[in-house]
Amino acid sequence: MTGERPLTVRTAGRHALLVDLPDAERTAAFHAELLRRRAAGTLPPVEEIVPGARTVLLDGVSDPAALARRLARWDVPARAAGTGGVAEIPVRYDGPDLADVAALWGIRPQEVAARHSSYTYRVAFCGFAPGFGYLTGLPGPLHVPRRDTPRTRVPAGAVGLAGPYTAVYPRATPGGWQLIGTMADPGRLWDLTRDEPALLTPGTRVRFVAEDETA
Amino acid sequence: MSPEITVVRPGALTTVQDAGRPGHAHLGVPRSGALDAPALRLANRLLGNDPDAAALETTVTGCALRPGRAVTVVVGGAPCPVTVDGRPAAWGTPVHVPAGAVLDAGTVTAGLRSYVAVAGGVAVAPVLGSRSTDLLSGLGPEPLRAGDVLPLGAPAGRTALPGAAPWPAPPGELVLPLRPGPRADWFTAAALRTLFSATYRVSPHSNRVGLRTEGPPLERARPGELPSEGMVLGAVQVPPDGRPVVFLNDHPTTGGYPVIGVVAEPGLASAAQAPAGTPVRFTPG
């Protein structure tokens, strides 16, 4: 059914709309269009614009029914233009699941760094913890399952993989992602002294830079 | 004496709360804020504070405080005995606390969460525009401990609401107006009938993240998890055990369990005051 229509607008209570998109690419495009229109002052006031994997939530809307009618008529470019920012994240590929991931990818462990750092990712959405971005851009054949048993503690800066996503843990938490590396200065991911505390905001493009193992 | 207040007895869980920090959900930041927002606002209005000034939200067993200078306070929300240096004082209206005296908000006689507001408001450093403690993501001040010292703000100079205000009684039965969606289609028609006809009870596992319920499980029309999507305050998420969970202020900003409906905000203030075992009825709304 989805795929037939570019978007489906659902009601989430009295003040919110949840917009269903057919795929991650069109979700990113729709999200970028929302931000563009908000910046241009042509979007009615919305308290929160929260992208998900294949949805965008618009919360704190005074007249959701009117906005829903407008959204249905939008002509959204199929592909989100780059939003400008590219965040570079230096990574030492030394994670405890490196060998498991290499096996799943059918390569040698020492080749994981070059492979993982060869793509440009994009922050699809945030969640789980402040500053935790779910990054898309890993090709389908490289998607790996979560660990069977989650770890009770994943250290801050751990670089992990789960399903279609890769991510960096902004702080130590329990977690079930497959860990392949470490970001040396994870404090950059969430820094309340900055105007924008999150390094990885939705739409931001991300490159991982492999650090020399011997450095 | 300095404009500050010392925590003598923190109670089971006392946190600083104001109107919270909405507007950052896209970064994974919960909105947080007082669970019984009308109670916070009323307590502040009785003091001439900004209605959303930061106050203390207690849990069941109240808290005790010693101001460094004479202050006026209001203890409202869930009713509880109030004393100043051991002498009974009024609940729900302004009380004068001399410098160095101990204000004690005792264990609730009904409801769950009392609010202790102080003229001038609690002036801990704001984080992303709010002084609220967010228990899910750890933003804002830690839950209070004995010996903590909290700075107070300057009184706002507003006209205080006069006299005795009508505080709503905590609910004997929790009636939650619920609008189906956005994922009601993930459930069978029978599940929606069950939701609107069965009596649930508040689970003891409820907290600031969510009001958990016990009752008949809601049957799914399709298996699996949703790709993660944004969650609103009041969302009724249904985890695999089928028992609805009503998201409160410290709820996660995204989630993968389907939301069968959303409870309107007036119902959430009552939910904040419903102890474990309280009957819960969802009504169309």
- pLDDT tens, residue order, chain B (285 aa): 458 999 999 999 999 999 999 999 999 999 999 999 999 999 999 999 999 999 999 999 999 999 999 999 999 999 999 999 999 999 999 999 999 999 999 999 999 999 999 999 999 999 999 999 999 999 999 999 999 999 999 987 777 777 667 898 888 999 999 999 999 999 999 999 999 999 999 999 999 999 999 999 999 999 888 999 999 999 999 999 999 999 999 999 999 999 999 999 989 999 999 999 999 999 998
Judge: A12–B235 Cβ closer than 8 Å, yes or no.
yes
Nearest-neighbour CA in chain A from B147: distance (Å): 26
CA B22/CA B4 separation, integer angstroms = 27
What integer pLDDT is reported at residue A215 of this predicted model? 47
- Cis ω for the linkage preceding B182 (within 30 of 0): yes
Dihedral sign from CA coordinates of A73, A77, A78, A81: negative
Contacts 24+ apart (CB under 8 A), B145-150: B145/B7, B145/B10, B146/B7, B146/B8, B146/B9, B146/B10, B147/B6, B147/B7, B148/B6, B148/B7, B148/B10, B149/B4, B149/B5, B149/B6, B149/B7, B150/B4, B150/B5, B150/B6, B150/B7, B150/B16, B150/B122, B150/B123, B150/B124
What integer pLDDT is reported at residue B231 of this predicted model? 98
What integer pLDDT is reported at residue A3 of this predicted model? 41
CA B36/CA B17 separation, integer angstroms = 10
- Residue B227's closest chain A neighbor by CA? A53
Judge: A13–B235 Cβ closer than 8 Å, yes or no.
yes
Strands B149-151, B95-97: parallel, antiparallel or unpaired by DSSP?
Answer: unpaired
Which residues of chain A lie closer than 8 angstroms to B264, CB-CB? 13-14
Which residues of chain B lie closer than 8 angstroms to A128, CB-CB? 28, 252, 254
The closest alpha carbon to B204, from B69, B108, B112, B66, belongs to: B112
Render pLDDT for A156-172 as a digit per residue (tens, 0 to 9). 999 999 999 999 999 99
Chain A residues contacting B via beta carbons under 8 Å: 10-16, 18, 47-57, 59-60, 125-132, 134, 192, 197-198, 201-202
- Residue A18's closest chain B neighbor by CA? B182
| HSE-up (13 A, CA, CB side) for residue B140 | 31
CA B167 to chain CA centroid, Å, is 15
What integer pLDDT is reported at residue B177 of this predicted model? 97
Q: Which residues pair with B8 in a beta bridge?
A: none
Which residues of chain B lie closer than 8 angstroms to A15, CB-CB? 232
- Residue A10's closest chain B neighbor by CA? B182
Nearest-neighbour CA in chain B from A110: distance (Å): 32
b/e sequence B138-158, b meaning 16+ C-beta within 10 Å: ebbbebbeeebebebbebbee
Q: Which pair of structure tokens corresponds to residue A191?
A: 């820094």
The closest alpha carbon to B103, from B201, B29, B5, belongs to: B5
Best residue in B131, B134, B229 to probe A by mutation, most A CBs within 10 Å? B229
Kindly state the average pLDDT of the residues A17-31.
94
Q: Which pair of structure tokens corresponds to residue B68?
A: 């460094």
Which residues of chain A lie closer than 8 angstroms to B262, CB-CB? 12-14, 16
Q: What is the pTM of this model?
A: 0.94
The full DSSP string for chain B is: --SEEEEEE--S--EEESS--TT-GGGT------SSHHHHHHHHHHHT--TT--EEE--SS-EEEEESS-EEEEEEES---EEETTEEE-SSS-EEE-TT--EEE---SSSS-EEEEETT-B-PPPBTTB----TTT--SSPPP-TT-EEEBPPP--PPPPPS---PPPPPSSEEEEEEE-SSGGGB-HHHHHHHHHSPEEE-TT--SSEEEEESSPPPBSS-S-PPPEE--TTEEE--TT---EEE-TT--SEESS-EEEEE-HHHHHHHTT--TT-EEEEEE-
3-state DSSP call for residue A178?
strand
Render pLDDT for A47-90 as a digit per residue (tens, 0 to 9). 999 999 999 999 999 999 999 999 988 888 876 665 568 999 99
Nearest-neighbour CA in chain B from A56: distance (Å): 7
ipTM of the complex: 0.94
Which residues of chain B lie closer than 8 angstroms to A125, CB-CB? 26, 228, 254
Judge: B182–A12 Cβ closer than 8 Å, yes or no.
yes
Beta-carbon contacts below 8 Å between A and B: 104
CA A178/CA A151 separation, integer angstroms = 10
Return the higher-pLDDT residue of B184 and A215.
B184
Q: Which pair of structure tokens corresponds to residue B75?
A: 């203890």
